[in-house]
Amino acid sequence: MTVNLFSIKNKVVIVTGSSSGIGKVLCKRFKESGAIVHGISRKKSNKYYQYNQHSCDITNQDEVKAIIKNIYKLNKKLNILINNAGVTFSETSLEKAYLRFDQTIEVNLKAAYLLSIICAKYMKKSNSCSIINMGSIGGLQGFPNNPSYLASKGGLISLTRGLAIDLAKKNIRVNSISPGYIYTKMTKRSYDNLSTRKLRNNRTINGRWGKVDDLVGTAIFLSSKSSEYINGQNIVVDGGWVAKGL
């Protein structure tokens, strides 16, 4: 009998930030691969989704506890959490800078920690569990005009290592994926600027912006049996941006 090491069939997956961009595509691709997918997003929507879609403020501890409990009760197991939800604000004024910093850390870092520790309570009852945090090359390198985003993603990559150590005893692996420039609604403005797009194309070894589907294989890999000995790692998926240097 042949074993598919990359199979995620019938695994219960939670993806935050699921209503658009990276999260929406991950939900679709995981569903197509046989997973039982539960998406979580802040906004309520009447749109039809091919997967289970829930509305929740991931910075609200009571809401998060309730939604995770309900998902577990429905499926009797929980295998994978993908902390994908994120925000970014360009700095506009010193007066707004601190507020923006706090908001960014709240969603990008603290919410990921909250979801991880709550999901871990249910994951220990399942086998082969994985938490994936969506980092960024911004957590590895400096970029201008958005220190709150850089701090949140750098913190998330460090959180990944810490949680990997703490949750290993529960047989839960924790890794992160750090994308480069991926075309989504969030990055559309800079992509539509032709000079900016060309600059960033030239900055990557692959010579182009990434597509959301460029992240899917890595996410499925980290969710499957094939990555059982990978833990506490940050996998960079950036078309060679970081590797290229000057």
Give the separation between CA 10 and CA 221, rounded to whole angstroms: 15
Parent domain of 157: 12-239
Give 208-231 pLDDT, tens digit per residue.
999 999 999 999 999 999 999 999
Give the tens place of pLDDT for each residue, 20-54. 999 999 999 999 999 999 999 997 665 656 789 99
Q: How many domains does the chain have?
A: 1
Active site residue 49: no
Q: What is the pTM of this model?
A: 0.95
246: in domain: no
Assess if residue 1 is contained within a domain.
no
Q: Which residues face 234 on adjacent strands?
A: 176
- What pLDDT, on a 0 to 100 scale, did the predictor assign at position 50? 78
5 in any annotated domain: no
Tokens of 95: 């007066």
3 domain residue, yes or no: no
List the chain residues with pLDDT less than 50: none
CATH of the domain at 97: 3.40.50.720
**Does residue 245 fall inside a structural domain?**
no
| Residue 161, pLDDT score | 99
Q: Is residue 4 part of a domain?
A: no
**Does residue 22 lie within any of the structural domains?**
yes
Is 117 domain-assigned? Answer: yes
User: Catalytic one among 72, 122, 149, 181?
Assistant: 149
